Amino acid sequence: MLRKRIVTLLMTLLLATGLSAALVPAVNAAPAPAVSAASCATATNWQAGTWYPAGSIVRYNGSYYRAEHANPGYDPVISHWYWHPHSCDGGGQNPSPSGFVVSEAQFNQMFPNRNSFYTYSGLVAALSSYPGFTNTGSLEVQRREAAAFLANVSHETGGLVHIVEQNTGNYSHYCDWSQPYGCPAGQSAYYGKGPIQLSWNFNYKAAGDALGIDLLNNPWLVQNDSAVAWRTALWFWNTQSGAGNMSGHQAIVSGAGFGESIRSINGSIECNGGNPGQVQSRINTFQSFTQLLGTTPGGNLYC
């Protein structure tokens, strides 16, 4: 009886001081609104001083956070009462069951009009050829590399629409007969194909040797097999400096910047004032993709 009176007295004091709300959940409090995984696709970058209702999802330093309680823009890393790390399809700490930093939903959002040849599964299957790709450095850098690679690929293929080079008049130009192995598939067989538009007989020879595929004699595999196509693109991105001084992979993970990845692909044709409109187009796509992936573009965007 005495214990009951003590408990009653304590509750009366708590109610009088307004502290009971901090200790006893309100019976009729509405739960935080449910947020579907798709909400990450529309998440915005966190900004101090912005009001965030409970359930809001924001990007912060390459990761996603969900507002567990409404707040006036508290820092997601400092204010753990208000924000919790959030994982969902399209962002967060584990964005994709494939292990790739780009989920299939994000890939489809990047390339809404893509040719069915360019499958997400084909890209994922090709990743094992270059395990350092999008697995080097911080999560921010990993996502930045994915955005850089896919932005350049998008530019080369019109948004993953074109499988082969559209200017057929150039087809006979990509055979360098000075090479000891010549052009066994024919003078006009080594035109641009695949995500990176691989061209020239010597590139088909080098890519085939690196990947264990006879692309010198059968260059058409790049336009007929999605995984092979993606593997040749990753070969160039990860290992070839092309017309530049470093590979696209090195440009991003070293901090040299997106501009250097453009240089490796197209050199003076676009860089150093060669075609500023094309450079800007690549940069615009890159910035769009980094935003979608919840990362930053870094510096040195131009070449």
pLDDT tens digit sequence for 99-143: 799 999 999 999 999 999 999 999 999 998 999 999 999 999 999
The C-alpha angle with vertex 285 and arms to 284 and 288, in degrees rounded to 5, equals 90
Predicted local distance difference test score (pLDDT) of residue 73: 84
Return d(Cα 145, Cα 297) in angstroms, integer: 9
pLDDT tens digit sequence for 18-35: 333 333 333 333 333 333
Phi, psi of 137 (to 5 degrees): 85, -165
Task: Say whether 198 sits in a helix, a strand or coil.
Answer: strand
Architecture of domain 31-94: Ribbon (2.10)
Q: Which of 104, 145, 156, 260 is catalytic?
A: 156
Which sequence spans correspond to the domains of the chain? 31-94, 141-293
What CATH fold (topology level) applies to the domain 141-293? Lysozyme (1.10.530)
Predicted local distance difference test score (pLDDT) of residue 269: 93
Mean pLDDT of 48-56: 86
**Interacting residues of 223 by C-beta distance below 8 A, sequence separation 6+:** 163, 164, 193, 194, 229
Alpha helices, DSSP H, located in 43-134: 104-110, 120-126
Asked if 156 is an active-site residue, the reply is yes
Average pLDDT, the chain: 83
